[in-house]
Copies of this chain bind each other. A is one copy, B any other.
Amino acid sequence: MIFTSDNAFGTSPEILEALTRVNVGAVASYGADDVTARLTKKFSDVFERDVAVFPVATGTAANSLALSVFTPPYGAIYCHEFAHVNVDECGAPEMFSGGAKLVGIGGANGKIDADALALKLSLPRKGDVHQVVPSTLTITQSNELGGVYTLAELHRLTELARQYELHVHMDGARFANALVSLGCTPAEMTWKSGIDVLSFGATKNGAMAAEAVVFFDPAKAADFAFRRKRAGHLFSKMRFLSVQLEAYLENDLWLRNARHANAMSKRLADGLLTIDGVTLGSPVDANEVFVRLPIALFKRLMKSEAAFYPWDNAEDAKEGHVRQLVRLVTSFATKEDEVDRFLTLAKG
């Protein structure tokens, strides 16, 4: 009964098999191999336009490299105050951009509040050298509290960005989970909604260690390859990175995995909410469940064999602590039986 994170789980068998399948002979290194070449076609098909694709191994690398292309060292990156790039990457965006400033915006359920963003963007005086230059907006889809922006919400944010000449990045560490949640096309959730560059996550949803940075205007990717190499993120035996992404997209593995994970979260949330005193912390749109547990229940579960995290939260610290906010994450590999055993335990 592991609900700590979707990255606690292993690799989809299809992806492991692909690694073995591609382990034949000697091929050109550093991405000049056939598997990597095929990725551009594959991603262009998935996104219904010509894209530039760059595989990397971690989400932090994908996000930071993508942001660094559009953010000068004297630039500002707007993000949700709880965004992974802001609180969970040890300053990686600052490193890769050469010192840009992340500006956290508030908003319920992990979603950037559009009015708060509009206000923040209206403050710097254009050309004022005393202030960092508004450069990039980054949106996490699905976000750090398990929420999924609607297309309308995305449009509202990216239109604000356009108005202030910002580029827009999407942190799609859980892209597939958001996509199947909305039921829209990959194109609709990205460039048709004003996204310039995407961190297309695969690791949390079944890959071993593989993400893709996808530029919807390949011309804007001109210096990316240099930035990736310089950051030590260009793999010599690239085929093993690329083939993970290929297998992930093949036969809709990515969508199947995501649908399963989301369904498990829904099952888990539905079950928990039948328990007296359990309340929703944030809407369950994808594969993360945020609920507040009565303290006694929280303590009992923490001592059990089930694994999950209390969510560090100023609010919880303050409220006399009659309930504790917790996060439970399900994955492509979470078993229905595991969810049910946890619910039985909780109802216990």
Q: Please list the residues of chain A having a beta carbon within 8 angstroms of any beta carbon in chain B.
A: 2, 4-5, 7-11, 13, 16, 19-20, 22-30, 56-62, 64-65, 72-75, 87-92, 94-102, 119, 122-123, 125, 129-133, 203-204, 208-209, 223, 225-237, 239-241, 312, 314, 317, 331, 333
Q: Is the CB–CB distance between A58 and B234 below 8 Å? A: yes
Closest to A24 in B: B10
Q: Is the CB–CB distance between A89 and B229 below 8 Å? A: yes
Q: Is the CB–CB distance between B232 and A64 below 8 Å? A: yes
15 new A-B contacts at CB < 8 Å, known A129-B229, A129-B234: A58-B233, A60-B229, A65-B232, A73-B91, A74-B91, A88-B130, A88-B131, A90-B131, A90-B229, A90-B230, A91-B101, A95-B230, A95-B231, A119-B317, A231-B232
Known: A8-B26, A233-B58. A74 touches B90 (CB 8 A): yes
Closest to A10 in B: B23
Q: Give the shortest distance, in Å, between A16 (CB) and chain B (any CB).
A: 6
| Residues of chain B with a CB closer than 8 A to A317's CB | 119, 122
Residue in B5, B16, B27, B61 whose CB lies within 8 Å of A8: B27
A-B pairs with the 3 shortest C-beta distances?
A: A61-B232, A7-B236, A94-B99
Q: Is the CB–CB distance between A99 and B90 below 8 Å? A: no
Q: Give the shortest distance, in Å, between A242 (CB) and chain B (any CB).
A: 12
| Residues of chain B with a CB closer than 8 A to A56's CB | 232
A236, B62: Cα distance in complex, Å: 14
A57, B234: Cα distance in complex, Å: 10
| Residues of chain B with a CB closer than 8 A to A209's CB | 57, 235-237, 240-241
Q: Is the CB–CB distance between A92 and B232 below 8 Å? A: yes
Q: Is the CB–CB distance between A130 and B89 below 8 Å? A: yes
Residue in B19, B125, B203 whose CB lies within 8 Å of A237: B203
Q: Is the CB–CB distance between A98 and B101 below 8 Å? A: no
| Residues of chain B with a CB closer than 8 A to A232's CB | 56, 58-62, 64-65, 89, 92, 96, 231, 233
Closest to A98 in B: B98
Most-contacted residue by chain B among A10, A25, A75 (CB, 10 A): A10
A64, B227: Cα distance in complex, Å: 14
A58, B313: Cα distance in complex, Å: 36
A269, B119: Cα distance in complex, Å: 30
Q: Is the CB–CB distance between B26 and A223 below 8 Å? A: no
